[in-house]
Amino acid sequence: MSTAPHPAAPHTAAPSAAPSALSPRLPDLGALELLLAVIRLGSLGRAAAELGITQPAASSRIAGMERNIGVPLLERSPRGSRPTEAGSLVAEWAAPVLAAAQALDAGIAALRDRRDARLRVSASMTVAEYLMPRWLMALHQALPGTAVTLRTANSADVARQVLAGEADLGFVEGLRTPSGLDEVRIASDRLRLVVGTGHPWARRRAPVTGAELAATPLVLREEGSGTREVLDRALAPYGGPTTPLLVLASTTALKAAALSAGPAVLSELTVADELARGQLVSVPLADLDLSRPLRAVWPTGTHPAGPARELLSLTRS
């Protein structure tokens, strides 16, 4: 009589072992490198000289490794040093470990060299046009092999580029640091109300009030720019700026419009030359604070490194 086979016991996969820490008996890479050098050169003294350490230091390192492993690795004699059987085995196992470590070291160095050979900067227009040229010339003197890419955008777009990893370092204007970015203040700036010499305000003696400025159609930067943010915040108690006369996306265009079209609010850095030549006139303001910080920004939790760190130091010198 046949009997039905017993059902096979269900297979249960053995739980995978959790990764464990390396044994404290594992020699460090420097000690393994020394061991291989002694075996290759046949002398502790020659190995120490090749690696740039003293013979007592080399002897101490070998002794410490033997003590840690628990077996002798070298046989010493007046004619030199040769490996024990255990020493030969350790050396055989150590060779590919050291080769892998050297490859890792070379790879890290290549990454560092590649990083240090380029710098991507994104800057607001005021910073890019009026401050960045001097900083980049100084950076070229300090790190002549660095290739720099400079992108110009308004402050909101600069922040987006830095957060997206499209720039290593950003420079923004405005009253606050965008979320997700760390910052350091690198300079201060102030906005000036300027008009062309033919505008009635060019001969005005009394300061323009905040309420009057808010009610006047102005030549303005686009929303998202640091200049617009500061002006909007200053005029908020008066209902904000009225419908603008023009909205332009570049400092050069704003200055040209101010010469002929109407009042504009611009960074004093950008209009210094025109004011000195008498092409534009600065109109005093009565009750508005139009000062603002200029900031360098980078992603929160990181730190500028390589050329970015060097450039940042130059902005503060």
Q: Are 164 and 269 spatial neighbours (Cβ–Cβ below 8 Å)?
A: no
- For every residue of 76-126, which 3-state class applies, written as one string? EECCEEEECHHHHHHHHHHHHHHHHHHHHHHHHHHHHHHHHCEEEEEECHH
Q: Are 264 and 218 spatial neighbours (Cβ–Cβ below 8 Å)?
A: yes
Give the pLDDT of residue 4: 42
Residues 6+ apart with CB under 8 A from 198: 260
Read off the DSSP letter of residue 17: P
Angstrom distance (rounded) from CA 304 to CA 297? 9
Look-up: residue for tokens 């390396």? 22
Structure confidence by residue, pLDDT tens digits, 270-317: 999 999 999 999 999 998 989 999 999 999 999 998 899 999 999 986
Q: Which domains does the chain have, with CATH numbers?
A: 29-114 (1.10.10.10), 118-186+293-315 (3.40.190.10), 190-291 (3.40.190.290)
Q: Are strands 246-248 and 219-221 parallel, antiparallel or unpaired?
A: parallel
56-66 average pLDDT score: 91
Give the pLDDT of residue 117: 73
In angstroms and rounded to an integer, the radius of gyration of the C-alpha atoms of the chain is 34
Look-up: residue for tokens 């402050």? 155
Structure confidence by residue, pLDDT tens digits, 92-142: 898 888 888 887 877 776 666 555 578 999 999 889 989 999 999 999 999
Structure confidence by residue, pLDDT tens digits, 189-236: 999 999 999 999 999 989 999 999 999 999 999 888 889 999 999 999
- Tell me the pLDDT of the chain averaged across its residues: 87
